Each structure stands twice: as C-alpha cells, then as structure tokens.
Amino acid sequence: MTILVTGGAGYIGSWVTKLLLNSGYQVVVLDNLSHGYKENVDPRAKFIVGDISDSKKTKEALKGVDAVIHMAGLIVVPESVKDPVKYTQNNVLGTVSLLESMKEAGVKKIIFSSSACVYGTPDKLPIAEDAPLHPDNPYGATKAAIEAFLQAFHANFSFDVTILRYFNPYGPGKLAPPITHAIPNFITATLAKKPIPLYWKGEQIRDFIYIEDLAQAHVDVLSLSGFNVFNLGMEKGVKVKDVVEMIFDIVGYKVPIDNLGKRPGDVSANYASSEKLKKAVGWRAKVYLKECLRRTIKYYSSSFSQLQSTT
C-alpha cells in the first residue's frame, strides 16, 4: 500500500512518514518546503517538492497512491488572526484543490490532520467528538471548513474520510519558525537560561500529547472506511504552569517567567476524550508527560549544545 503524505517535510509529517515506512508502507511526500525541511524527510520515501494547490504536481504525486494523509497547511493561530484571508486561501482552497486532484486520480481515501481548535471554548470537559464546533480563531475556522468539505466529498463522491482532531502535540523534531508550540518554547528558553514566555500566567489547561503517540494514530486508522472523526489527546488536562514546573524539576534549575498577558484566539481550557479512537482501532497513548518531557529536553539539549559549539 502506498501513502501520500502532504506536508511530510514538516514536524508531524516527518514522524508520520517514518512510522509508515517502519510499518511496511511505501510513502510519497509532497511538500512545498515553505515550513518544512528536506532533511526531515526519511530517505526511504519518494519526495516531490510541490504545493497541493498545484494540480499538476499533486497528480504526479498521486500516481500509484492508495490513500492520502493530509498534513500540509498553515498552523500559527496569532498569524491567522492577523491574516485570515491567507489562511483561507492556503488551508481551505488548497485542500479543495487537493480533493479535486484526488477525485480525478481515483484516490478516494484521506486522513486529515484537524485540530481541537474547531471546538473553540468548550461547553463541557472532556471534549467528545459530538461537541458543537464554534472555533475561536481563523485557524480553527479553516480546519472546521475543511472538515465540512471532507463530509461533502464523502457524501457526493464516496470518499473514505478519517478526521483526527489533534490536541497539543510536542516532542523531539525540527520545527519551522516562528515556533508557537508551548513546550519547545519553554524548553529552549530554559536551556538558554532566558525568561519563559507565558500567556495567561500559565493558568490555561491543555491536553499535551507526545508526537510519537500522535503519529501512530495515523497508521492505526488506515484500515478504516466510511466517515470517521476522532479526538487525539491524552484525555487529561494539565495547567501550563505545571508543565513549566516539571521542566524546571527535570533540568534542576529555574528561570524567570515573562508574563505576556492574554492572547487573542486562546481558550482557557481544553482536553480530549479519546475513547472513540480507542474503541475503533485500539489506539492508546503509550508514553506519559514527565517521561516525554525528559525525551524532548534531551533532544533540545543536544541541539542547543551543537549550536553553542558552532558559535
């Protein structure tokens, strides 16, 4: 079975590509390298530089492909608040172009990397998949719009669709700037012994899921057909300031906190119910927060040491 991974040169996409290859799948990566890195792509994969909006390149990438894991897209919430048109054009129209190319190529199976941002401020916790969608920022709105298009392509063209709504991924791996993921920012600031940038005084509650567990879910759902929506989280909410304290405990020292106040587009609390995914394919998170933080700190410590040695 051959899988096309759009955005496969990115942080999460490169992890998914590696796990697919390790599981015996053939992989084609399509990435325009605007936010990914060629060195992120496993050399066992076929790599095509191109944009999902370019139907010629996309159809080239789709040759011989059985399914698509769609991860290409812009993901920075504050940027989406400043420029919603850019996010709509790239994420929504780009995905519709991809779906049209898939339809013409006869590839009708897609796994989409969505986001907990589609829920906005939740009515209750933990969040289940049947919760109403009312995104609080344009990035989340683009994810919700893409989900609606996927539903339409399922209904009209018999696409098999699986939507994975990510909560807060973290772990080792090269990220493209600007780095907006909380944990990498906290770790890199701590290692550099600089103030940690913290919104809302760290009182917001998040569901942090380790990158390898998140990537594994994409492999696990490949056998599914029909239309499926799953949350992908640890099912446990943690205050951001408590994560900071865990990092301090692991490294053995503290650094000051840079209180950045409130941030437009943020929600105060969200964490998942992933019971539906467990029942469907037996997926469950295997690694837990403190151990995952140790692994992530080790990765950034190595990168930090290499950077220091070259300066």
The CATH number of the domain holding residue 138 is 3.40.50.720
Q: What is the total count of domains within the chain?
A: 2
State yes or no: pLDDT of 305 exceeds 60: no
- Does the residue 7 lie in any domain? yes
- Does the residue 93 lie in any domain? yes
Residues 78 and 216 reside in one and the same domain:
yes
CATH of the domain at 261: 3.90.25.10
Q: Note the pLDDT tens digit of each residue in 191-245.
A: 999 999 898 888 899 999 999 999 999 999 999 999 999 999 998 889 999 999 9
The band of 310, judged by pLDDT with boundaries at 50, 70 and 90, is very low
Q: Which domain holds residue 48?
A: 2-170+208-232
pLDDT at 236: 85
Across residues 100-121, what is the average pLDDT?
A: 96
Active site residue ranges: 139
HEC assignment per residue over the chain: CEEEEECCCCHHHHHHHHHHHHCCCEEEEEECCCCCCHHHCCCCCEEEECCCCCHHHHHHHHCCCCEEEECCCCCCHHHHHHCHHHHHHHHHHHHHHHHHHHHHHCCCEEEEEEEHHHHCCCCCCCECCCCCCCCCCHHHHHHHHHHHHHHHHHHHHCCEEEEEEECEEECCCCCCCCCCCHHHHHHHHHHCCCCEEEEHHHCCEECEEEHHHHHHHHHHHHHCCCEEEEEECCCCCEEHHHHHHHHHHHHCCCCCEEEEECCCCCCCECCECCHHHHHHHCCCCCCCHHHHHHHHHHHHHHHHHHHHHCC
Across residues 249-262, what is the average pLDDT?
A: 91
Residues 42 and 148 reside in one and the same domain:
yes
State yes or no: pLDDT of 308 exceeds 60: no
Residues 154 and 188 reside in one and the same domain:
no
Residues 188 and 212 reside in one and the same domain:
no
Residues 139 and 278 reside in one and the same domain:
no
- Does the residue 176 lie in any domain? no
The band of 311, judged by pLDDT with boundaries at 50, 70 and 90, is very low
pLDDT at 307: 43
- Does the residue 177 lie in any domain? no
